[in-house]
Chains A and B, each alone.
Chain A
Amino acid sequence: MDLQAVIESLPRYGEPLLVTIGVTVASAALALVLAFALGLMTGSRHLAVRTPARVFVEFFRGSSVVVQLFWFAFAMPVVLGIQFDYLIAAGIIALGLNYGAYSSEVVRGAIAAVPQGQLEASTALNLTPLQRMRLVVLPQAWPEMIPSLCAFAIMLLKASALVSVIGILDITWLAGLIGKQPGQDRLLHYGVVLVIYFVLAWLIWTGMRALERKAKRGIGIDAKSVKGRLAPTVATGGVH
């Protein structure tokens, strides 16, 4: 019985599942840090700050993740003499850089969307640019970023399957391996993986929703009663 064989082999998913989760969480953390750094830099009014960040973002957005994975895993040790003790580090870095570059646009966009009037009020109170960013702009931009960052986190989860191309055993590769063995149904195993990804994505989504509600309460909006953006009674804009 195929189903019986699938159920019996489920414990074998344990370690690869940790790999999938670990790669996703670690590269998401790297991507988040990078997204803020690059998002702030690409939104800078100084050309010398903006240009290198822009080049970095476009390079990583414009080239294949798979090639980047190969590069960090196999080319970099040869070319630069830097070798990772564990290949999984190469996978985390490649995915982190890639998704960091993508999500930096979310950060930049949300920062740029903070109304001009908020910046003018900050100037009128003589806040420094750094204080303005920390106290006024980021707290308002952050809730706006969460839904898009959530979408990228889920894409990153799914993209973590690509680490199998550099020889890291995650759940996708394992399903293929077990599925080939006698007495196993490959399609059923891929079905199992499908469900695992869905559950993980749902967990990310749920967590992000909670984070978004919390962030919106922090700007005086009850996300349960007010759907969408700032309540219309808040006049934060103002062009003269």
Chain B
Amino acid sequence: MRQNEAPREPSGPGPIIEFDRVDKSFGDLMVLDELSFRVDPGERVTLIGPSGSGKTTILRLLMTLEKVTPKADPERDGGVVWLEGKPYSHMEKKGVLVPANEKWLRRRRSRVGMVFQQFNLFPNMRVLRNVTEAQVHVAGRSKEEAEAKARELLELVGLAEKTDEYPSRLSGGQQQRVAIARALAMDPDILLLDEVTSALDPELVADVLAVLRDVAESTSITMLCVTHEMGFARDVSDRVMMFDSGRIVEQGPPDAMFSEPQEARTQDFLRAVLAE
């Protein structure tokens, strides 16, 4: 059994995300080391910490862009990511947990959406099609339904008049707002935000953060956010987690974390970030 817990009710209330003693290494480099944490449905969590501390890797594991480093006996040793009470990095096969195959991942990852540091809009599609394409081909919506939803979301991110532009004609901030609309169009339960303002010119950051504040206020979507925007983290998140070397240094509500961090590493990190 995992960590002396009672078996989970399949549909009962519980964490939407659970990392259970997850290891992740790239070759010899240990990025996550026996990492365990839970996120409740609707919770907004900000991950902070120095670069290389494993924050982005956590998001990439949740988006299945990376795979956890498998452990020999997941039932005993963990190393499993759970989503909505069911294994996610793994799947059950003949009663035991084995690393998930592509079919399993395809079924499960539709609950998760991600916005990238580099936007990654499809340059061969105009703005509207960037937002409708997966709705039509993956979610199976009609073209009309997908376009209506796309227009509504592009309105939300303030780009209703840019639907017919190619991404290359937009500023970075506009591209990122389209990317947010594109992710939301798939109705994810969990939205992963990976340093979404880091590639933007300073004057464009505010618009993107305003959109995300809007999303946070108007939806109950679970958000995991890697960012260096401490003001945004303080306003939006329910919990801040400080990482270093693939481990959680400390965590707590943003007010407590920012005003009286307990750990020296957190204090140093915040001092360095806020001095920027």
Binding site for B on A (CB under 8 A): 115, 117-118, 120-121, 123-128, 131, 135-136, 139-140, 218-221, 230-231, 233-238, 240
Contact = CB atoms under 8 A, between A and B. Distances in A.
A220 B118 contact: no
**Which size class do B's interface residues fall under?**
35 or more
Contacts of A124: 63, 65, 109, 112-114, 116, 183
Interface string B51-86: 000001000100111000000000000000000000
A139 B166 CA distance: 14
A236 B169 CA distance: 13
A131 B121 CA distance: 16
Contacts of B120: 115, 117-118, 120-121, 235-236, 238
B134 A238 contact: no
Interface of B: 56, 60, 63-65, 106, 109-110, 112-114, 116-124, 126, 133-134, 137-138, 165-169, 171-172, 175, 182-183, 186, 194, 199
Given A126-B110, A220-B166, 15 more contacts: A115-B120, A117-B118, A123-B64, A124-B114, A127-B137, A135-B137, A136-B124, A219-B168, A220-B123, A220-B167, A230-B123, A231-B168, A235-B175, A236-B118, A238-B117
A233 B165 CA distance: 14
Contacts of B126: 220
Nearest to B183: A124
A221 B168 contact: yes
Q: Which 8 A-B pairs give the minimum distances between C-beta atoms? A: A220-B166, A238-B118, A125-B134, A121-B120, A139-B124, A117-B120, A124-B114, A220-B168
A117 B116 contact: yes
Contacts of A231: 168
B255 to A, nearest CB: 30
Contact of B124 (A120, A131, A219): A219
A236 B194 CA distance: 15
A127 B168 contact: no
A235 B138 contact: no
A240 B60 contact: yes
A53 B194 CA distance: 38
Given A127-B134, A131-B137, A240 B168 contact: no
A125 B126 CA distance: 17
B116 A123 contact: no
Contacts of B182: 125
B135 to A, nearest CB: 9
14 contacts: A120-B116, A121-B122, A124-B65, A125-B134, A125-B186, A127-B137, A131-B138, A136-B124, A220-B168, A234-B167, A235-B172, A236-B118, A238-B116, A238-B120
Contacts of B64: 123
* Most chain A beta carbons < 10 A, residue from B64, B116, B120, B171: B120
A151 B200 CA distance: 39
Contacts of A230: 123, 168
Contact of B134 (A117, A126, A139): A126
A128 B133 CA distance: 12
A229 to B, nearest CB: 11
Contact of A237 (B118, B121, B168): B118
B63 to A, nearest CB: 5
Contacts of A136: 122, 124
A216 B116 CA distance: 25
Contacts of A240: 56, 60, 117, 194
Nearest to B56: A240
B89 to A, nearest CB: 15
